[in-house]
Structure 1
Amino acid sequence: MRGSVWVLTGTLVLASSGAVAASVVETSAGPMRIELVATGLEEPWGLGFLPDGMFLITEREGALKLFAAPGAEPVQVSGLPEVYAEGQGGLLDILVPRDFAQSREIWLSYSLPQGRGAGTALGRAVLSGDGTRLEGFEPVFISPEGGRGGRHFGSRVVEAVDGTIFLAVGDRGTGPDGLEAQDPMRAEGKIIHLNRDGSPATVLPGTLPGVHSLGHRNPQGMALDVQGGLWVVEHGAQGGDELNRVEAGRNYGWPVIAYGEDYGGGQIGEGQAKPGMEQPVFYWDPSIAPSGLAFYSGALVSAWAGDVFTGSLKFDYVSRLNPDNGYAEERISSPETGRVRDVVEAPDGSIWFLSVYDGAAYRMAPVK
């Protein structure tokens, strides 16, 4: 379970220049070409693909940009909600539902100003035919109570196999002494499950309607595996970042149990285990600050089929975990992998990631 089984770090072996900036990195599956597909971004956060080859990228300060193709000049999309762009808050994740060709719906998670604080929110709108604006944006879910400060909003959005929507909500940074993540009637530190009309898709006795699981700290990656199961990666405190398989009604422990320690030292809660609380499938110690999550289909790299990809905000690499080998970790590192915020498999089977340091999006695929 622990993240120290073995580590293979990718090595940059070639850089090239030309119409498309690119480099080549060695990996366990052979050389991969990493090429620039979008640049000039201000703290990119979420990435979504449209069925016609276009793609959308959110910027935390509150902008949404549409790219017609890799390397194209972006279109600034209007019609966005007001966001609380402080600390870790702002315009966050984006979801393009599978029925976009018919519905043209776009879903966005964001931090919403609430009095003297802010809370995690989720909303949807229709993308105009020319791609320049969101029409009829409406909030679908708003955390009932906003916390103060700019930490731990979450907040990834995933469409389930049945078309319902999952939203990851952070604990708002209240620390080991705050038990909001354990309070079933609060939204903080929860995975929220909604129908497309915003009604709760999970209803558990004695819980806020929509709460699917509890005891999460700061989930900044969420994805379905190849069988449709839901997973998250979440930040620990000082050590103890976790990969969790999420199931309805389960309690994932924060801040009662944790594999990290409190900032400045000291045990968090009651230790590392407690009856009735789930253990992570895998954890990192020291923390890597994981963000973004993808389960790879194997479309272009069959050796990686079913493997788990996430970005490291702290150590500047793309992490690949191999479930068939005890979740052994390969660290794919190159000059482009600076503070990786999101990792997504593209429709063609390539792996795309967002670099906060570069303000850029990159595409990784086998060298041909």
Structure 2
Amino acid sequence: MIMGTKMRNLTLATGLSVVLIACSNGDDAQATQGATAENQATTDISPVDRKPFEKAEVASFDEPWAMTFLPDGRMLVTEKKGKLFLVDQKGEKTEIFNVPEVDYGGQGGFGDVILSPDFATSGRIYLSWVEAGDDNTRGAVVAHADLSLAPNEPGVEAEAPALANLTTIWTQNPKTTGRGHYSHRMVFSPDGKYLFIGSGERQKFDPSQDMMGNLGKIIRLYPDGSVPDDNPFVGEDNVLPEIWSLGHRNILGMAFDSEGRLWNQEMGPRDGDELNLVQPKANYGYPIVSEGDHYDGKKIPNHDTRPEFAAPKVAWVPTIAPSGMIFYSDDLFPAWKGSAFIGGLASEAIIRVSFDGETAQEAERYAMDTRIREVEQGPEGALWVLEDGEGGRLLKLTPPK
């Protein structure tokens, strides 16, 4: 669902026209640019002022980045500077100890947190963060650890929650200079057998096409970090066997739909953010093709000029600067079942995407008036949202009363 010109705009479910700001992507430019005559564009999108939910503030954090729910309804929340919190649904926060040391700066620091599929019995979680290397280089790593929690029972005394047996299972290769585009998002396959990791191209462009490195790739591993024998490039010369797909830029959301299909969203360069249906061995073309252009104004050919590259199912021009992504599956908001929700940084919004098989389109956009870093579905069907930056709030979104 892309058109063959960089100035195209998506035609969506409703016929209302609003003004959007064609600004730099939110993780490349930390503030949304103001509207000018040169950067305004008109498109048909869903209304941004309709909010079919009530918003309640639960807690606040210092640069939160990711969250995940525990079986008992409590949450784990990461902060970029290197803290991990246990948070209950009333907003009480407890810091978790023995977390790894992170290399904080730019887009780097503490990243994602997800539960092992067998968490209920193993207590294992998976974490990603940025570590320093030699000669002013750095890169993302993924590890698993055992999480020891205080009992969720009033009046029961226990030791403070902490991590143990932290074991690194994957490292971004090669480590590079700079502090951008780590991606380091993670998701398990629905059957729990495979761990998928998004690895950004570190703002270095060409590594997305270099098969001897894992930058600009989606990775598939077993939960222990070993490589499955049926990965698509296993046995090929001069190719890392962990690679599942390539030609990506800055992957900040991955999720499986109800049919078991893996989707990812990623930031384009100057505009051209993408929603991709991720297929094994597919090459998504960056930096050879993109629906956006370089920040210096240099043009990048569109996907339709190179049909050998997989094209996005949705591309956003102007940028939405996407962040976390989920597929909604509960009955609390019945009209939303099967939709994907994407946080918007520069767009300061939550974007709902609807699907018809492998076809996708933006269905609605909800203005949040601040940068949105993460979206999750809670155990009772509410949407939970993390705002970006210092003082970023944890919000619970429920149907209007």
Is the TM-score greater than 0.5? yes
1:199 is matched with 226
> Secondary structure at the residue paired with 1:330?
strand
Shift in alpha-carbon separation, 1:326–1:129, aligned structure 2, 3 A: closer
Deviations 1:62-108 (A, max 9, x none): 11011133322x11111111211111011011111232110101101
Deviations 1:200-253 (A, max 9, x none): 132512421211100000001111111121111100011100000111111011
Identify unmatched segments of 5+ residues in structure 2. 3-8, 13-44, 151-159
Letter aligned with residue 188 of structure 1: L
Report the Cα distance in structure 2 between the residues aligned to 1:326 and 1:124, rounded to whole angstroms.
34
Question: How far 1:190 moved relative to its partner?
Answer: 0.5
> Secondary structure at the residue paired with 2:286?
coil
Report the Cα distance in structure 1 between the residues aligned to 2:277 and 2:86, rounded to whole angstroms.
32
Contact residue 5 and residue 329 of structure 1 kept, 8 A:
no
Report the Cα distance in structure 2 between the residues aligned to 1:79 and 1:203, rounded to whole angstroms.
37
2:202 is matched with 172
> Secondary structure at the residue paired with 2:120?
helix
TM-score, normalised with respect to structure 2: 0.82
Report the Cα distance in structure 1 between the residues aligned to 2:178 and 2:282, rounded to whole angstroms.
28
Match of 1:351 among 383, 387, 394: 383
Percent of pairs with identical residues:
36
1:266 is matched with 298
Alignment of 1:84-95 (within 5 A): 84-95=103-114
Shift in alpha-carbon separation, 1:271–1:309, aligned structure 2, 3 A: closer
Shift in alpha-carbon separation, 1:162–1:273, aligned structure 2, 3 A: farther
Match of 1:44 among 47, 58, 64: 64
Report the Cα distance in structure 1 between the residues aligned to 2:333 and 2:282, rounded to whole angstroms.
34
Report the Cα distance in structure 2 between the residues aligned to 1:326 and 1:190, rounded to whole angstroms.
22
Shift in alpha-carbon separation, 1:96–1:271, aligned structure 2, 3 A: closer
Q: Does 1:102 align with 2:107?
A: no
Report the Cα distance in structure 2 between the residues aligned to 1:290 and 1:194, rounded to whole angstroms.
25
TM-score, normalised with respect to structure 1: 0.89
Contact residue 319 and residue 347 of structure 2 kept, 8 A:
no
Q: Does 1:219 align with 2:248?
A: no
What RMSD in Å do the two structures reach over aligned CA positions? 1.7
Contact residue 293 and residue 309 of structure 1 kept, 8 A:
yes
Identify unmatched segments of 5+ residues in structure 1. 12-25
2:397 is matched with 364
Report the Cα distance in structure 1 between the residues aligned to 2:259 and 2:355, rounded to whole angstroms.
14
Match of 2:132 among 100, 110, 113: 113
Deviations 1:33-55 (A, max 9, x none): 1111221x111100110001110
1:283 is matched with 315
Contact residue 182 and residue 215 of structure 1 kept, 8 A:
yes
Report the Cα distance in structure 2 between the residues aligned to 1:44 and 1:341, rounded to whole angstroms.
8
Most deviating of 249-258 and 297-306: 297-306
Runs of 4+ in 1 over 4 A off after TM superposition: 269-272
Deviations 1:169-207 (A, max 9, x none): 000001xxx311001111100001110111013251242
Aligned residues: 344
Question: How far 1:270 moved relative to its partner?
Answer: 7.3
Q: Does 1:244 align with 2:276?
A: yes
Letter aligned with residue 52 of structure 1: D
